[in-house]
Chains A and B, each alone.
Chain A
Amino acid sequence: MTQEAAPKLPILQLVGVRKTFNDFVAVEKIDLDVIEGEFLTIVGPSGSGKTTLLRMLAGMDQPSEGNITLHGERINEVPPNKRPTCLVFQSLALFPHKSVGDNIEFPLKVRGVDAKARKARALELMRVVRLPESYHSKNVMKCSGGERQRVALARALAYDPEVLFFDEPLSAIDYKLKKVLEKELKDLHKETGKTFIYITHSLEEAMVMSDRIGVMRAGRLVQVGTPEQIYNHPVDRFVSEFVGEVNVIEVKKEQDGAPWRGIDVPGAFHVRPPEEDAEADHAFVVIRPEYLRFLGAGDTAQNSLKGTVYNEYSLGSRIQYQVRVGEKVMLVELSRSKALPIAADRSVTVGWDAADAITVRA
């Protein structure tokens, strides 16, 4: 696990945290240090245990084993209303019978703050999340999806938590608005300086916002690192595939220094040994579609494969070609400006250099 060099202390620490429901293991032995003020995103497919992990951090579930500490103090059994943390729910959980203002003022009201001070703080927070002042008395159910996000955010900030948790709050928002809200959330993180822990199944979302990303799979934290580390140095095939569409070739080492033998495609390939285990003799070579290129006459690459183009997709600024190599489909992406006039069912050669591919342990 790589951590930033900055001399910041962990605010939250998880040591061997495990959660079981009867026989089902939802979260398996997680060790994690959350650095104060960071934006940490936990990403994983549905059912990977990320929501359970978040609920334990927020105090809504208790770990079956292990410890969670906040500023060095064990908080396993501290209830949510006694923790300096706040969760923004996937459903947002806005109170439907209260106005925008009353929703935002709720944490202040239960703390006994008087009405005048409450309203002043609510209006202040509404400015922070860019809600017009006139919305204070608006019915929260009459707000649009984006406005509700902002109300939920303002309400969480009104609690003044040290750590904010987010449970996929943007999953039901359309793409364009999502992009806007992602940026706003990142700005808000900077402005408030609070620790944000965000969970999502979308690595794209994680890449945009996070200082660090943790990838979860089947209850385990597979890799924690900066977006750059996750993207360029995935620890295994799962992480590499989670980042996006990739080409994966299974290879075996037959002899030190010699090219590796392809298992699911015929041929011998120049391969860098896996970062995690230089001695491994069985590995997956991961080549991102943008690193794979078509080889014309006179072009060379360390590795090449012959195949047939059978489909092309427009991905906006890029074009993706599907190339059939034996039983396998390889993806090649070119920027639109460099698109080749390739007719379907045309024979091509695709190639890449060992340095452009990532090798992970099998």
Chain B
Amino acid sequence: MEQEKARTRLFIWLWTAFVVVLLYLPIACGALASFSKGRYFAFPIRAFTSEWWEKTVDSIEIGMIVQTSLLVAALVTVLSVVVAFFGALAFARYDWKGRRLFQKIVILPIFFPQPVLGLALLLWFSAVGVQTSWLTAVFAHLVWIVPVVTLVIAIQVYSFDPSLEEAAFDLGASRWQVMREVTLPILWPGIWSGALFAFLLSWGNFPLSLYTAGADSTVPKWLYSKMVAGYTPMVPALGTMSTLGAASALLLGGLVLWLLRRRAAA
């Protein structure tokens, strides 16, 4: 019995280690490559330097690309949370004719292959005569991200007892007061998780941006184009920074979420 337990523990350990190595070693390799003195991508790394990181930080071009990416992600976050909040209420709360169809249609874009979705949107933009730019990329991101955020918020809505709103209304609150005092505070953790999802998915999205950002570039798009032609260790450097940025956004978001939940339980 004891032996069996020890064996199970060992197996769990080995498996966890295997998964961690599989998932994170490539990212670590990317980070290592960004410190290589050589211009070309080659292992083992012979000499280390922080030169490429400095160059990346100083580059005006990269600064603009990061700005575009941030702008796209921020806009996508705000718009998708607003749209998804009401969508989630319609999705999970109110019983209306066509709700089941709505639930299916809303979820579907998540499963579209993104390059196909990107291509379709590009064709559609040119058909209606819209010049592609970072703004059309925002729209493209929304098509894919709003469904995800809707689902995330809907999960919170499902656990929300609608009689709380009825009670507030019955106790004299106006519709707006019900929203501000009851609905929003209780759904807040879900909204925050949704916002975090929106930001990170937009920040890291490549296929949709490739097709629909036109002449504008985002971080993933730039990484790809430099990988294809004109590689320097600035590519892994920016890639690593982008990953670290996403990780810190996640950490910060998680911290806020934890505080929100703790305040709710206090």
Interface residues of A (CB under 8 A from B): 58-60, 79-81, 85-87, 89, 91, 93, 95-97, 106-107, 109-111, 139, 141, 155-156, 158-159
Contact = CB atoms under 8 A, between A and B. Distances in A.
B166 interface: yes
A95 B164 CA distance: 7
A158 B167 CA distance: 13
User: Which of A79, A85, A95, A139 has most chain B Cβ within 10 Å?
Assistant: A95
Interface in B164-190: 164, 166-174, 177, 181-182, 185-186
Contacts of A139: 265-266
Given A80-B170, A89-B166, 12 more contacts: A58-B170, A60-B166, A60-B170, A85-B170, A89-B167, A93-B161, A93-B163, A95-B186, A97-B264, A106-B168, A106-B181, A158-B171
A96 B264 contact: yes
- CB-CB nearest 8 A-B residue pairs: A93-B167, A80-B170, A107-B171, A110-B173, A93-B163, A110-B177, A81-B172, A97-B185
Interface size bracket, B side? 20 to 34
A86 B185 contact: no
A195 to B, nearest CB: 16
A141 B164 CA distance: 14
A86 B185 CA distance: 23
Nearest to A160: B172
B19 to A, nearest CB: 37
B169 A81 contact: yes
A86 B186 CA distance: 22
B156 to A, nearest CB: 13
A85 B171 CA distance: 9
DSSP class of B's interface residues: helix, strand, loop or mixed? Answer: helix
A93 B164 contact: yes
A109 B182 CA distance: 13
A347 to B, nearest CB: 56
A110 B168 CA distance: 9
B145 to A, nearest CB: 28
A306 to B, nearest CB: 55
B163 A89 contact: yes
Contacts of B169: 79-81
A222 B161 CA distance: 33
B20 to A, nearest CB: 37
B188 to A, nearest CB: 9
Contacts of A97: 185-186, 264
B161 A91 contact: yes
A80 B175 CA distance: 11
A86 B170 contact: yes
Contacts of A156: 171
Contacts of B167: 87, 89, 93, 95
A107 to B, nearest CB: 4
A143 B177 CA distance: 26
Contacts of A106: 168, 171, 173, 181
Given A80-B166, A93-B166, A110 B161 contact: no
A85 B172 CA distance: 10
Interface string B206-223: 000000000000000000
B265 A81 contact: no
30 contacts: A59-B170, A80-B170, A81-B174, A86-B171, A87-B170, A89-B166, A91-B163, A93-B163, A93-B164, A93-B167, A95-B164, A95-B168, A95-B181, A95-B182, A95-B186, A96-B264, A97-B186, A97-B264, A107-B173, A109-B181, A110-B168, A110-B171, A110-B172, A110-B174, A110-B181, A139-B266, A141-B265, A155-B171, A156-B171, A159-B171
Nearest to A156: B171
Nearest to B167: A93
A106 B182 CA distance: 10
